[in-house]
Amino acid sequence: MLIFFILLCAVLLLVYLATVLNDNEKIIHVEHSNFRDILVCESRLERYMRFSRKGSSKQTRMLLSATGLLIVNYNKMMLGALYLNPRPSKILMIGLGGGTLATAVSSIFPEIDIDIVEIDQAVINVATKYFNFKQNSRIHIYEKDGRAFVRNARACDAAYDMIMLDAYDDQYIPGHMMTMEFLLELKRILTPDGVLSANTWKSSPLYDSESVTYEAVFGTFFNLLKTNRVILAKNNGLPDFETILNNAELVEPKLATVGTGVSFLLPLFSVRQNWNLNAEVLTDQTSALISY
Protein backbone atom coordinates (compact mmCIF):
# COMPACT_ATOMS: atom_id res chain seq x y z
CA MET A 1 0.00 0.00 0.00
CA LEU A 2 2.83 2.42 0.88
CA ILE A 3 4.61 1.67 -2.40
CA PHE A 4 1.38 2.33 -4.33
CA PHE A 5 0.92 5.64 -2.50
CA ILE A 6 4.49 6.73 -3.29
CA LEU A 7 4.06 5.82 -6.96
CA LEU A 8 0.75 7.67 -7.11
CA CYS A 9 2.35 10.80 -5.61
CA ALA A 10 5.18 10.60 -8.15
CA VAL A 11 2.72 10.33 -11.03
CA LEU A 12 0.65 13.24 -9.71
CA LEU A 13 3.82 15.35 -9.34
CA LEU A 14 4.78 14.74 -12.97
CA VAL A 15 1.24 15.52 -14.15
CA TYR A 16 1.28 18.77 -12.16
CA LEU A 17 4.68 19.73 -13.47
CA ALA A 18 3.56 19.09 -17.03
CA THR A 19 0.76 21.62 -16.59
CA VAL A 20 3.18 24.45 -15.70
CA LEU A 21 5.33 23.85 -18.75
CA ASN A 22 4.50 25.12 -22.22
CA ASP A 23 2.93 22.73 -24.70
CA ASN A 24 6.15 22.40 -26.69
CA GLU A 25 8.23 21.63 -23.61
CA LYS A 26 8.86 18.22 -22.14
CA ILE A 27 10.56 16.90 -19.04
CA ILE A 28 13.40 14.56 -20.00
CA HIS A 29 14.77 13.93 -16.50
CA VAL A 30 13.97 14.52 -12.83
CA GLU A 31 16.95 14.54 -10.46
CA HIS A 32 16.04 14.11 -6.81
CA SER A 33 17.85 16.31 -4.31
CA ASN A 34 17.93 16.94 -0.58
CA PHE A 35 17.12 20.58 -1.40
CA ARG A 36 14.53 20.29 -4.22
CA ASP A 37 13.88 18.15 -7.26
CA ILE A 38 15.62 19.38 -10.41
CA LEU A 39 13.87 19.11 -13.76
CA VAL A 40 15.72 18.88 -17.05
CA CYS A 41 13.40 20.10 -19.81
CA GLU A 42 13.61 20.45 -23.57
CA SER A 43 11.82 22.49 -26.17
CA ARG A 44 12.44 22.27 -29.89
CA LEU A 45 15.52 24.50 -29.74
CA GLU A 46 16.97 24.30 -26.25
CA ARG A 47 17.51 22.34 -23.06
CA TYR A 48 17.13 23.93 -19.66
CA MET A 49 16.83 23.32 -15.93
CA ARG A 50 13.91 24.10 -13.63
CA PHE A 51 13.30 23.57 -9.94
CA SER A 52 10.15 21.66 -9.00
CA ARG A 53 7.97 24.47 -7.72
CA LYS A 54 5.13 26.47 -9.21
CA GLY A 55 6.36 29.33 -11.38
CA SER A 56 9.94 28.14 -11.39
CA SER A 57 12.01 29.97 -13.98
CA LYS A 58 14.61 28.45 -16.26
CA GLN A 59 17.83 28.10 -14.29
CA THR A 60 20.18 27.16 -17.13
CA ARG A 61 19.61 27.29 -20.87
CA MET A 62 21.59 25.61 -23.62
CA LEU A 63 21.01 25.67 -27.37
CA LEU A 64 20.82 22.14 -28.70
CA SER A 65 22.38 23.22 -32.00
CA ALA A 66 25.25 25.25 -30.47
CA THR A 67 25.98 24.05 -26.96
CA GLY A 68 29.07 26.25 -26.55
CA LEU A 69 27.22 29.56 -26.98
CA LEU A 70 25.86 31.47 -23.99
CA ILE A 71 22.21 32.42 -24.50
CA VAL A 72 21.35 33.69 -21.01
CA ASN A 73 21.94 37.41 -20.64
CA TYR A 74 23.24 37.32 -17.08
CA ASN A 75 25.94 34.78 -18.04
CA LYS A 76 27.13 37.18 -20.72
CA MET A 77 26.91 40.09 -18.28
CA MET A 78 29.03 38.30 -15.69
CA LEU A 79 31.81 37.98 -18.27
CA GLY A 80 31.95 41.77 -18.23
CA ALA A 81 34.32 41.19 -15.29
CA LEU A 82 37.01 40.62 -17.94
CA TYR A 83 36.79 44.31 -18.82
CA LEU A 84 38.09 45.00 -15.31
CA ASN A 85 40.70 42.23 -15.28
CA PRO A 86 41.35 40.70 -18.72
CA ARG A 87 44.06 38.27 -17.62
CA PRO A 88 42.82 36.20 -14.66
CA SER A 89 44.89 33.20 -13.67
CA LYS A 90 42.61 31.80 -10.94
CA ILE A 91 38.82 32.07 -10.73
CA LEU A 92 36.34 31.09 -8.04
CA MET A 93 32.73 30.35 -9.03
CA ILE A 94 30.11 30.04 -6.29
CA GLY A 95 27.10 28.23 -7.73
CA LEU A 96 27.34 25.84 -10.68
CA GLY A 97 23.86 25.67 -12.22
CA GLY A 98 24.15 23.77 -15.48
CA GLY A 99 27.82 24.67 -15.72
CA THR A 100 27.44 26.64 -18.95
CA LEU A 101 29.32 29.68 -17.62
CA ALA A 102 32.12 27.53 -16.23
CA THR A 103 32.39 25.70 -19.56
CA ALA A 104 32.52 29.01 -21.45
CA VAL A 105 35.24 30.45 -19.20
CA SER A 106 37.26 27.25 -19.48
CA SER A 107 36.97 27.28 -23.26
CA ILE A 108 38.30 30.83 -23.62
CA PHE A 109 40.93 30.46 -20.87
CA PRO A 110 41.95 26.78 -20.98
CA GLU A 111 45.17 27.53 -19.10
CA ILE A 112 43.63 28.99 -15.92
CA ASP A 113 42.51 27.27 -12.71
CA ILE A 114 38.80 27.38 -11.85
CA ASP A 115 37.46 26.40 -8.43
CA ILE A 116 33.69 25.81 -8.39
CA VAL A 117 31.63 25.56 -5.22
CA GLU A 118 28.20 23.90 -5.41
CA ILE A 119 26.27 22.76 -2.34
CA ASP A 120 23.97 20.34 -4.18
CA GLN A 121 25.35 17.12 -5.64
CA ALA A 122 22.18 16.75 -7.69
CA VAL A 123 23.01 19.99 -9.53
CA ILE A 124 26.49 18.65 -10.27
CA ASN A 125 24.96 15.42 -11.59
CA VAL A 126 22.57 17.28 -13.91
CA ALA A 127 25.25 19.66 -15.19
CA THR A 128 27.50 16.71 -16.03
CA LYS A 129 24.88 14.45 -17.62
CA TYR A 130 22.75 16.97 -19.48
CA PHE A 131 24.69 20.22 -20.01
CA ASN A 132 28.14 19.03 -21.13
CA PHE A 133 29.90 20.21 -17.96
CA LYS A 134 33.21 18.41 -17.48
CA GLN A 135 35.81 18.51 -14.75
CA ASN A 136 39.47 18.33 -15.70
CA SER A 137 42.88 19.05 -14.23
CA ARG A 138 42.12 22.80 -14.27
CA ILE A 139 38.48 22.70 -13.11
CA HIS A 140 37.99 21.66 -9.49
CA ILE A 141 34.54 21.30 -7.95
CA TYR A 142 33.74 21.34 -4.24
CA GLU A 143 30.43 20.16 -2.83
CA LYS A 144 30.12 22.68 -0.03
CA ASP A 145 28.27 25.76 1.16
CA GLY A 146 29.74 28.79 -0.56
CA ARG A 147 30.34 30.83 2.57
CA ALA A 148 31.96 27.94 4.39
CA PHE A 149 34.30 27.47 1.43
CA VAL A 150 35.22 31.18 1.40
CA ARG A 151 36.03 31.15 5.11
CA ASN A 152 38.27 28.12 4.66
CA ALA A 153 39.93 29.71 1.61
CA ARG A 154 40.73 32.79 3.64
CA ALA A 155 42.21 30.65 6.43
CA CYS A 156 44.40 28.93 3.81
CA ASP A 157 45.51 32.29 2.30
CA ALA A 158 43.91 31.45 -1.06
CA ALA A 159 43.64 34.32 -3.53
CA TYR A 160 41.54 34.70 -6.68
CA ASP A 161 41.76 37.14 -9.56
CA MET A 162 38.04 36.83 -10.16
CA ILE A 163 35.07 35.62 -8.12
CA MET A 164 31.77 34.87 -9.87
CA LEU A 165 28.90 34.73 -7.39
CA ASP A 166 25.78 33.03 -8.75
CA ALA A 167 24.31 31.20 -5.77
CA TYR A 168 20.53 30.77 -5.64
CA ASP A 169 18.08 28.60 -3.76
CA ASP A 170 14.39 28.19 -4.65
CA GLN A 171 13.61 31.76 -3.64
CA TYR A 172 16.65 33.97 -4.15
CA ILE A 173 20.25 34.36 -3.04
CA PRO A 174 20.71 32.65 0.36
CA GLY A 175 20.62 35.33 3.06
CA HIS A 176 24.04 34.48 4.51
CA MET A 177 25.61 35.22 1.11
CA MET A 178 24.15 38.72 0.83
CA THR A 179 25.58 40.37 3.92
CA MET A 180 28.34 42.91 4.45
CA GLU A 181 30.32 40.36 6.44
CA PHE A 182 30.23 37.86 3.59
CA LEU A 183 31.24 40.47 1.01
CA LEU A 184 34.18 41.42 3.24
CA GLU A 185 35.19 37.76 3.32
CA LEU A 186 35.05 37.66 -0.48
CA LYS A 187 37.06 40.86 -0.73
CA ARG A 188 39.81 39.40 1.47
CA ILE A 189 40.38 36.45 -0.88
CA LEU A 190 40.57 38.65 -3.98
CA THR A 191 44.00 39.56 -5.30
CA PRO A 192 44.82 43.32 -5.23
CA ASP A 193 43.55 43.59 -8.81
CA GLY A 194 40.74 41.09 -8.25
CA VAL A 195 37.15 41.47 -9.49
CA LEU A 196 33.82 40.30 -8.07
CA SER A 197 31.02 39.55 -10.53
CA ALA A 198 27.69 38.96 -8.74
CA ASN A 199 24.36 37.96 -10.28
CA THR A 200 21.24 39.40 -8.61
CA TRP A 201 17.74 40.48 -9.73
CA LYS A 202 16.79 43.88 -11.12
CA SER A 203 13.31 43.59 -9.58
CA SER A 204 14.37 42.25 -6.18
CA PRO A 205 12.63 43.91 -3.19
CA LEU A 206 16.11 43.93 -1.64
CA TYR A 207 17.60 45.93 -4.54
CA ASP A 208 18.24 49.06 -2.46
CA SER A 209 19.74 47.19 0.50
CA GLU A 210 21.88 45.01 -1.77
CA SER A 211 23.22 48.11 -3.46
CA VAL A 212 24.22 49.97 -0.31
CA THR A 213 25.74 46.78 1.09
CA TYR A 214 28.01 46.33 -1.94
CA GLU A 215 28.85 50.05 -1.77
CA ALA A 216 29.79 49.76 1.90
CA VAL A 217 32.35 47.08 1.06
CA PHE A 218 33.63 47.97 -2.43
CA GLY A 219 32.70 51.59 -3.00
CA THR A 220 31.52 52.49 -6.52
CA PHE A 221 30.66 49.50 -8.70
CA PHE A 222 29.43 48.90 -12.24
CA ASN A 223 25.71 48.12 -12.30
CA LEU A 224 24.69 46.10 -15.38
CA LEU A 225 20.92 45.86 -15.84
CA LYS A 226 18.72 43.60 -17.93
CA THR A 227 16.12 41.34 -16.30
CA ASN A 228 18.93 40.36 -13.98
CA ARG A 229 21.33 42.80 -12.37
CA VAL A 230 25.05 42.00 -12.41
CA ILE A 231 27.33 43.88 -10.03
CA LEU A 232 30.98 44.27 -11.04
CA ALA A 233 33.18 45.43 -8.17
CA LYS A 234 36.94 45.69 -7.88
CA ASN A 235 39.22 45.26 -4.91
CA ASN A 236 41.20 48.46 -5.50
CA GLY A 237 38.54 50.62 -7.18
CA LEU A 238 37.18 50.73 -10.71
CA PRO A 239 39.42 51.44 -13.71
CA ASP A 240 38.70 54.47 -15.87
CA PHE A 241 36.65 54.06 -19.02
CA GLU A 242 39.67 54.21 -21.32
CA THR A 243 41.07 51.14 -19.55
CA ILE A 244 37.69 49.44 -19.89
CA LEU A 245 37.75 50.07 -23.64
CA ASN A 246 41.32 48.74 -23.98
CA ASN A 247 40.47 45.62 -21.97
CA ALA A 248 37.31 45.10 -24.03
CA GLU A 249 39.33 45.18 -27.23
CA LEU A 250 41.83 42.74 -25.74
CA VAL A 251 39.24 40.06 -24.84
CA GLU A 252 36.80 40.62 -27.74
CA PRO A 253 38.09 37.67 -29.83
CA LYS A 254 37.69 35.34 -26.85
CA LEU A 255 34.21 36.53 -25.88
CA ALA A 256 32.99 36.30 -29.47
CA THR A 257 33.54 32.53 -29.40
CA VAL A 258 30.92 32.14 -26.63
CA GLY A 259 28.37 34.59 -28.00
CA THR A 260 28.99 37.92 -26.32
CA GLY A 261 31.19 40.99 -26.63
CA VAL A 262 31.43 44.77 -26.85
CA SER A 263 28.14 45.52 -28.62
CA PHE A 264 26.18 43.74 -25.89
CA LEU A 265 28.29 44.54 -22.81
CA LEU A 266 29.59 48.10 -23.08
CA PRO A 267 26.16 49.84 -23.25
CA LEU A 268 25.29 48.16 -19.93
CA PHE A 269 28.23 49.59 -17.96
CA SER A 270 26.94 52.23 -15.56
CA VAL A 271 27.85 53.60 -12.13
CA ARG A 272 24.56 55.51 -11.70
CA GLN A 273 23.12 55.11 -8.20
CA ASN A 274 19.51 54.21 -8.95
CA TRP A 275 18.73 53.08 -5.41
CA ASN A 276 17.80 54.57 -2.06
CA LEU A 277 21.09 55.64 -0.51
CA ASN A 278 19.53 55.46 2.96
CA ALA A 279 18.52 51.82 2.65
CA GLU A 280 19.59 49.40 5.37
CA VAL A 281 22.91 47.61 4.93
CA LEU A 282 22.43 43.83 5.10
CA THR A 283 24.37 42.20 7.94
CA ASP A 284 24.64 38.78 9.51
CA GLN A 285 22.36 40.05 12.27
CA THR A 286 19.64 41.11 9.85
CA SER A 287 19.97 38.30 7.27
CA ALA A 288 17.67 36.01 9.24
CA LEU A 289 14.92 38.61 8.81
CA ILE A 290 15.25 38.73 5.01
CA SER A 291 12.01 37.91 3.22
CA TYR A 292 11.21 37.86 -0.47
Instruction: Just list the catalytic residues.
Output: 166
Give the CA distances from residue 64 to residues 46, 60, 131, 132, in Å, rounded to whole numbers and listed in that order: 5, 13, 10, 11
**CA atoms of 137 and 148, how far apart (whole Å):** 23
Cross-strand pairs, 30: 39
CA dihedral 214, 217, 219, 222 (to 10 degrees): -40
User: How do the residues of the chain divide into helix, strand and coil, expressed in percent and rounded to 5?
Assistant: 35, 20, 40
**CA end-to-end span of the chain:** 39
Contacts of residue 89, Cβ cutoff 8 Å, sequence gap at least 6: 112, 113, 161
What type of residue is 9? C
**CA atoms of 134 and 156, how far apart (whole Å):** 26
**CA atoms of 146 and 187, how far apart (whole Å):** 14
